[in-house]
Structure formats: C-alpha cells, structure tokens
C-alpha cells in the first residue's frame, strides 16, 4: 500500500488481572490509507477497541502492557509517545469518538467550551477565538442553532446531538486520522444514518482517514473501503470491502454473514448461528483461535496457528483451508456456505 | 387464525408534573392472532416497551382495554391478577444484566414462578428447571450458579427459560437480542422460533433491528411517538413501506451488502423524534415528514385499511393523509 498514514506492525497487548494475564491483542498488523475508511469488525471481547486504544495511548498501564509492536506515522513510532514534533498525538494527529457520548463529555461544562478547550490546548487559540471556532465546528457537524447550542450543557442534548458534538470536538484540530469506536451503536437507525452521512461528508471535505470499529456489518458495507475481521485478538481476515463480503476467505467471516438475516425477499434460509463462544484469552489456543467453533476444522487447526494466505493483492485470510493442499476443498466450501451473493 | 390478544384504544400517560404528561402510548389498537409473531418497531422513545408492558399488566392502563381470548383484562393489576395471568402471559426483558437478581441462583430465578404457580414440590421444580436449562441450550447443573457466571447470550437464555417454564401462550419479548453479538443473536432467534413451533407460542416481538424483525415476524407494526403509523404483513411493510416514516425507517437500515449500500441514496431524515410531553395536534410526524401537507398539521390521521385485491392476506393499515380507504395496497 502506497504511503499509509498509519502503519501498525505486530501489535500485542496483555492485561494483568486477578485471574491471570489476558492476551487481548495477539500480533496485529494493518495499514490505514490516506483519506479512506478502514473498518475493524468482530464480536465483543475480540480486541478491536484495545487495538486502537493502545495505539492512542489510552490503555491503562498497568494493568495493561504493550508487549510488542509499532505504529508508524511517517517515520515515527507513536507507541508510548505523547507527541510528534511537539504536537500532541491525541487530538492533533488522531481524533477519537466513542460509543457512548453521554459519558464521554463533561457534564459540568457547556458544549462549546469543551470543544474550545481542544483548540486552546493544541492550537494555542485565545478562549474567544476558540469558542467562535467551536460554533463553526458545531455548525459543520449539522447542529442547528449552533451559537445557542454551544452554550448548552450535555444534558440538554439528545444522544444524536451529543455524538455530533463529539465529532465536532474530534475534528477541531483537523487530525489526519479519526478513530470512531462504535459511533452509532447507541443510536436509532434514523440517527445512525445521519451520523454516518456526516462522517462521510467530513471525510470528503477534509480528506481524513477513518478507523471505524463496529460489529454491524451493515455499517461496514455503507462506510468502509477496507475491512479487518478480528477474532480472539488476531486479524483473521482483511481485504477490500467487496472481497470480504462477496468472497469471504475465513470461516468466521462466513459465519458472521450466515448469522444475519439477508434483506432478500426470496431467501427464506434459516439463520445459522455460530455455536459455542470465543476462546479463553487467558490461555489462547495453540492453533487457530476459531478452531473450536469452526465447521471446517481439521486436525492441523488445533495444532499449528495458520499463516496468512494471500487470496488477492490486498486480501488475505489466516486459515489452513487456503494451504495448497486444500484448495479444492475451499472451492466447495465457498459454493455451499457462502451467505453473501454479489448482485449482478 | 383466531384472535388471542385484542388491544383496543390503549392509552398510557405518565404524569410528570402539573399539567404535564408523557404521551407514551396514545390510542393504540392492535390484534394479535393465535400463534402469530407480531414485530413492533420504532425509534427509542416511541412507546414500544410501554405498550408491551401495559399489555402484560406491568403498567396500569390510563384508558382503553386489552382482551385475552375475549376476556377483559384488568385496568390495574392486583397481586392476585398477576397470579392469575402470569401462567398465560410472560415477558422477556431487554437487558440480560439487570433483569436477573444477582443474589439468586439460576435455579431459584427460573424455578420461582413455577414454585408459586404450580404448587409442585422442590424436587419436581428442580427437575423442570433442569429440563428447561437444557431446552434453552444450557446445562442442568448450571442451576446452582449465579447470573454473573454467565455471558450475555447465556443470561438471555436464562431470561427465556424463566419466562417459558410456566408454558405461557403469549410472550412479550422486549428487545431480546439487542444486547447480544451477531452470532449469539441468531442462536436466540432460532431458539424462539423452535419454541414457537413446539409450544405454539404467540409473540409480540419488540426490536429496533428491522432486518431481524422482518425475519422473525409474521406481521410488522411501526410506532412513532406513541401511535401506530403502519401495520401489515412483515415482508410488505419492509419491502413496500407506505407511510413516509416507515419508508425513512426502512431506508435508514444499512444492509450488509456493500454494492447496494454504495448505490443507495442517503435517506437520512432531518431532525429527531420530538418530545412526547407536549404532542402537537395533527399528525405527529408532520414536522419531519418529507411529504407534509397543510391538513397534516391540523387533523390527526387514523389507521385506515388499504384496499387489497389479493384476498386471504392480513390487511395493510396506514395512518397517513396520503392514503384513503380506496388506495390500493
């Protein structure tokens, strides 16, 4: 990939708990392309939030510990750093919005001042300049009567409006990367559509890259160019959005698709749940993490971790089915199990 | 199909101060047939849960009636009424974390209703609890554990076992899958479907995931700000929505299909659901409706049944001034 804005290599994160050490992220590599949207999907507990939080330096340490890996922005590894060339990474280089805007904002400060604070700290604005800019940012985030709303407090905002205010704050310093961690999970579908439209419009206008963390494949389909599928702390498959949906390479990705109803009036197929639950990350399995739930599991899957097999230029899956010895079997599996159909 | 539950002009207001009341459910009429699954969708604050709770008696009714097999249910339930009706009507709650008592074992949680209503001795109750744990995909020896030892999906199964152990005929499922991961949602939906087949359950299925509601339900009802705006066969409402609000709701629902998503125009609706405290006269959707007309601000539309040439289907009803009883479905 040419000139990624962020390049993460071999990231691993552990947490010490009373029950032992949890290996939450176990060797993750990915690149974020300039001006594009990268989606990270997976079930709760798969490590998607921990991945981005440790890049941002938001993982509490202790109990957290980054045991290996790098995250390069240009020539600089931002893991463990707070600043690049004197500028704070958080806010200036990477903005972030969270799932729950209600608890992410300070209830005792008005919205405008919270946004202005970012500009005062990172950009050295005077408080008057900063507040004026905050109103412009709220307006850009499609908050009606921005000047009046800026003086209000979080409790006076609805959930959708708070998320807009969070977006205004995150883009205040025009960071090249915006991390959106389940930005619409707490919102109704109609409000979700508004927020997704807003994010796409902002991306078109200022060319920022978005890292979108979600478990909703519908949101991924609407927003993403490239997708990472995470399972048990690892990326099991990654690729361009169309290839992930129409030519899934990993049984877990196929399983996720088959567990969701399709909006096809003629398809009366039964939902196929993924039986069982994710592995215990106190003692991650030796082989493939999905082994215990995988309908295509073989003996080797329990014994050796699968390597990433390149399925096309930008599409790879970590699964033994793609080993040369198995290619015929894979063709059959795809015919039988594929929940996604590419519309002609 | 005979009618099991008949809701007529049901109203539930909450008083929140002098001359101020929340119009949570405002004049809703809905009939649920035996062995039918009716999906109820709408944004948060539209009154879905209040309607569900009022039907099973967890909220007193401000006015209106609910009939069960033609028998009028009480306006306000006394403990005795709950005793009578709990064996026929049950509820599965949204949040599997807060709806299970953390100080009770799973066996006590599931068995409590049975102990109260059936008069069985402790050994028999334990036996049935064990059976039910296995029916919902857990293990009989889980009954001595506490809720915190289970994952969200497992807790939701415990909630299902608790509701179904009395073998009710009618169950209100209030967002039973919203808190669960995709892979687990399918497990719970398939379980409900299987139990519907074997026990002949009738369900009022409340959810905001439209694709899932279409998949689960026979009919779909759409609520907006306390009133029903559209109801009809699930596939028809989903694929050929009539009411402008339903069109927007369905249009906002992202599909797990990147090519279709990229070509789909933005249907984002302006504004948000207004406060249910001071409800304006006329159509409640008027201030956000893309097809608003002058009458919408003054006259309240009522549910009218569209003319249907294909006989035998359940009719489509829409509450919107764009339609009248001569409009073809």
Closest residue in B to A274 (Cα) is B183
Judge: A221–B235 Cβ closer than 8 Å, yes or no. Answer: no
Is residue B219 predicted with pLDDT exceeding 50?
Answer: yes
Q: Is A111 in contact with A139 (CB distance < 8 Å)?
A: no
List of chain B residues whose C-beta atoms are within 8 Å of the C-beta of residue A221: 254-258, 260-261
Return residue ranges of chain A for CATH 3.40.50.300. Answer: 6-224
Judge: B259–A194 Cβ closer than 8 Å, yes or no. Answer: no
Q: Which residues pair with A296 in a beta bridge?
A: none
What are the structure tokens assigned to A266, written together?
Answer: 């003629």
Judge: B252–A190 Cβ closer than 8 Å, yes or no. Answer: yes
Question: Number of Cβ pairs closer than 8 Å across A and B?
Answer: 125
Mean pLDDT, rounded, for B14-43:
90
Identify the weakest region by mean pLDDT among A268-282, B79-93, B124-138, B197-211. Answer: A268-282
Residue B268 is predicted with a pLDDT of: 67
Closest residue in B to A242 (Cα) is B258
From A273's Cα to the closest Cα of chain B, the distance in A is 5
Comparing CB atoms, the residue among A197, A216, A256 nearest residue B183 is: A256
Digit-coded pLDDT (tens) for A169-211: 999 888 999 999 988 887 888 888 888 988 998 899 989 999 9
Task: Tell me which of B177, B181, B211, B248 to substitute to probe the interface with A (most A C-beta atoms closer than 10 Å).
Answer: B181
Q: What is the DSSP letter of B52?
A: H
If pLDDT is split at 50, 70 and 90, which confidence band does A344 have?
very low
Express as a percent the part of chain B with pLDDT over 90.
Answer: 36
Is residue A279 predicted with pLDDT exceeding 90?
Answer: no
Is residue B183 predicted with pLDDT exceeding 80?
Answer: no
Comparing CB atoms, the residue among B182, B214, B215 nearest residue A256 is: B182
Judge: A265–B254 Cβ closer than 8 Å, yes or no. Answer: no
Angstrom distance (rounded) from CA A223 to CA A212: 8
Angstrom distance (rounded) from CA A229 to CA A285: 18
Mean pLDDT, rounded, for B192-215:
88
Residues of B with CB under 8 A from a CB of A: 43-44, 151-153, 181-187, 189-190, 208, 210-212, 214-215, 235, 238-239, 248-249, 251-262, 264, 266-269, 272-273
Q: Which residues pair with A310 in a beta bridge?
A: A316
Mean pLDDT, rounded, for B286-310:
86
Comparing CB atoms, the residue among A161, A255, A271 nearest residue B189 is: A271
Digit-coded pLDDT (tens) for A330-340: 555 554 444 45
Express as a percent the part of chain B with pLDDT over 70.
Answer: 97
Residue A235 is predicted with a pLDDT of: 94
Q: What is the 3-state secondary structure (H, E, C) of B73-127?
A: CCCCCCHHHHHHHCCCEEEECCCCCCCCCCCCCHHHHHHHHHHHHHCCCHHHHHH
Mean pLDDT, rounded, for A76-87:
82
Query: Tokens 């967890």, residue?
Result: B58
Judge: A259–B186 Cβ closer than 8 Å, yes or no. Answer: yes
Is residue A58 predicted with pLDDT exceeding 90?
Answer: no
Judge: B266–A193 Cβ closer than 8 Å, yes or no. Answer: yes
Residue A283 is predicted with a pLDDT of: 87
List of chain A residues whose C-beta atoms are within 8 Å of the C-beta of residue B44: 188
Comparing CB atoms, the residue among B190, B210, B272 nearest residue A270 is: B190
Distances (CA, A) of A36 to A6, A31, A141, A225: 12, 11, 19, 6
Q: Largest alpha-carbon pair distance within chain B? A: 67
Judge: B186–A271 Cβ closer than 8 Å, yes or no. Answer: yes
Provide the ipTM: 0.79
DSSP string, A207-231: --EEEEEES-HHHHHHH-SEEEEEE
Residue A89 is predicted with a pLDDT of: 83
Is residue A310 predicted with pLDDT exceeding 60?
Answer: yes
Residue A333 is predicted with a pLDDT of: 58
Fold of A6-224: Rossmann fold (3.40.50)
Is residue A112 predicted with pLDDT exceeding 90?
Answer: yes
Angstrom distance (rounded) from CA A339 to CA A215: 17
List of chain B residues whose C-beta atoms are within 8 Å of the C-beta of residue A242: 258-259
Residue A329 is predicted with a pLDDT of: 61
List of chain B residues whose C-beta atoms are within 8 Å of the C-beta of residue A343: 257, 259-260
Distances (CA, A) of A196 to A141, A212, A218, B60, B268: 11, 11, 11, 39, 9
Judge: A256–B235 Cβ closer than 8 Å, yes or no. Answer: no
Q: Is B321 in contact with B299 (CB distance < 8 Å)?
A: yes
Is residue A86 predicted with pLDDT exceeding 80?
Answer: no
β-pairing, B202-206 vs B219-224, is unpaired
Q: Largest alpha-carbon pair distance within chain A? A: 67
Residue A337 is predicted with a pLDDT of: 47
List of chain A residues whose C-beta atoms are within 8 Å of the C-beta of residue B239: 265
Q: Which residues pair with A34 in a beta bridge?
A: none
Judge: A218–B261 Cβ closer than 8 Å, yes or no. Answer: yes
Mean pLDDT, rounded, for A56-64:
85
Identify the weakest region by mean pLDDT among A284-298, B132-146, B257-271. Answer: B257-271
Residue A11 is predicted with a pLDDT of: 93
Digit-coded pLDDT (tens) for A202-237: 899 989 999 999 988 989 999 999 999 999 999 999
Residue A332 is predicted with a pLDDT of: 56
Averaged pLDDT of chain B: 87
Digit-coded pLDDT (tens) for B242-269: 999 999 998 888 888 888 888 887 776 7
From B236's Cα to the closest Cα of chain A, the distance in A is 10
Closest residue in A to B209 (Cα) is A189
Distances (CA, A) of B263 to A124, A244, B248: 43, 18, 16
Residue A339 is predicted with a pLDDT of: 45
Is residue B32 predicted with pLDDT exceeding 90?
Answer: yes
Comparing CB atoms, the residue among A43, A218, A275 nearest residue B255 is: A218
How many other CB atoms sit within 10 Å of the CB of residue B136?
Answer: 24
If pLDDT is split at 50, 70 and 90, which confidence band does A342 have?
low
């Amino acid at each position: 990939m040419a000139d990624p804005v962020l390049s993460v290599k071999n990231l691993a994160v552990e947490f010490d708990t009373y029950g032992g050490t949890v290996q939450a992220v176990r060797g993750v590599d990915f690149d974020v392309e300039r001006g594009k949207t990268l989606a990270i999907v997976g079930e709760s507990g798969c490590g998607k939030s921990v991945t981005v939080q440790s890049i941002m330096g938001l993982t509490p340490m202790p109990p957290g510990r980054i045991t290996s890996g790098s995250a390069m922005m240009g020539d600089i590894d931002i893991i463990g750093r707070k600043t690049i060339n004197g500028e704070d990474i958080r806010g200036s280089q990477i903005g972030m919005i969270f799932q729950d805007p209600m608890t992410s904002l300070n209830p005792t400060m008005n919205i405008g001042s919270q946004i202005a604070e970012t500009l005062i700290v990172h950009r050295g604005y005077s408080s008057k300049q900063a507040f004026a800019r905050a109103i412009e940012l709220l307006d850009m985030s499609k908050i009606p009567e921005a000047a009046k709303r800026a003086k209000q407090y979080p409790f006076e905002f609805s959930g959708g409006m708070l998320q807009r205010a969070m977006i205004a704050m995150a883009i205040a310093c025009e960071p090249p990367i915006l991390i959106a961690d389940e930005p619409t999970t707490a919102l109704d579908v109609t409000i979700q559509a508004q927020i997704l439209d807003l994010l796409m419009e902002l991306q078109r206008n200022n060319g920022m890259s978005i890292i979108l963390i979600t478990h909703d494949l519908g949101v991924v389909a609407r927003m993403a160019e490239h997708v990472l599928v995470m399972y048990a702390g690892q990326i099991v498959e990654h690729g361009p959005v169309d290839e992930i949906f129409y030519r899934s390479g990993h049984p877990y990705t196929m399983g996720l698709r088959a567990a969701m109803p399709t909006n096809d009036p003629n398809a009366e197929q039964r939902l196929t749940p993924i039986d069982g639950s994710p592995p215990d990350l106190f003692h991650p399995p030796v082989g493939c993490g999905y082994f215990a739930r995988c309908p295509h599991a073989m003996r080797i899957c329990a014994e050796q971790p699968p390597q990433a097999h390149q399925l096309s230029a930008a599409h790879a899956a970590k699964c033994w089915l793609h080993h040369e010895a198995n290619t015929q079997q894979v063709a059959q599996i795809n015919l039988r199990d594929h929940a996604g159909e590419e519309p002609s | 199909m005979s009618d099991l539950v008949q809701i007529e002009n049901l109203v539930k207001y909450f008083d929140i101060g002098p001359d101020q009341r929340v119009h949570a459910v405002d004049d809703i009429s809905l009939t649920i047939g035996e062995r039918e699954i009716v999906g109820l969708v709408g944004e948060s604050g539209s009154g879905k849960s209040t309607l569900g709770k009022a039907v099973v008696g967890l909220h007193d009714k401000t006015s209106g009636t609910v009939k069960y097999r033609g028998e009028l249910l009480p306006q306000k339930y006394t403990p005795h009424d709950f005793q009578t009706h709990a064996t026929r009507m049950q509820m599965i709650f949204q949040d599997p974390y807060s709806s299970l008592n953390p100080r009770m074992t799973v066996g006590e949680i599931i068995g409590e209703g049975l102990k109260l209503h059936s008069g069985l001795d402790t050994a028999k109750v334990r036996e049935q609890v064990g059976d039910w744990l296995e029916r919902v995909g857990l293990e009989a020896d889980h009954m001595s554990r506490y809720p915190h030892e289970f994952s969200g999906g497992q807790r939701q199964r415990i909630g299902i076992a608790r509701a179904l152990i009395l073998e009710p005929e009618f169950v209100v499922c209030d967002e039973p899958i919203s808190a669960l991961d995709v892979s687990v949602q399918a497990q719970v939906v398939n379980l409900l479907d299987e139990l519907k087949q074997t026990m002949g359950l009738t369900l009022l299925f409340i959810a905001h995931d439209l694709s899932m509601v279409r998949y689960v339900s026979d009919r779909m009802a759409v609520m907006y700000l306390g009133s029903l705006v559209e109801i009809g066969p699930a596939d028809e409402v989903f694929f050929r929505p009539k009411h402008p609000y339903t069109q927007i709701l369905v249009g906002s629902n992202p599909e797990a299909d990147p090519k279709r998503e990229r070509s789909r125009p933005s249907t984002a609706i302006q504004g948000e659901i207004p406060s249910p405290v001071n409800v304006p006269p006329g159509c409640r959707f008027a201030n956000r409706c893309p097809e608003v007309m002058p009458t919408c601000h003054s006259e309240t539309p009522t549910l009218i049944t569209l003319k249907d040439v294909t006989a035998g289907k359940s009719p489509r009803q829409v509450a919107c001034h764009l339609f009248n009883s001569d409009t073809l479905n």
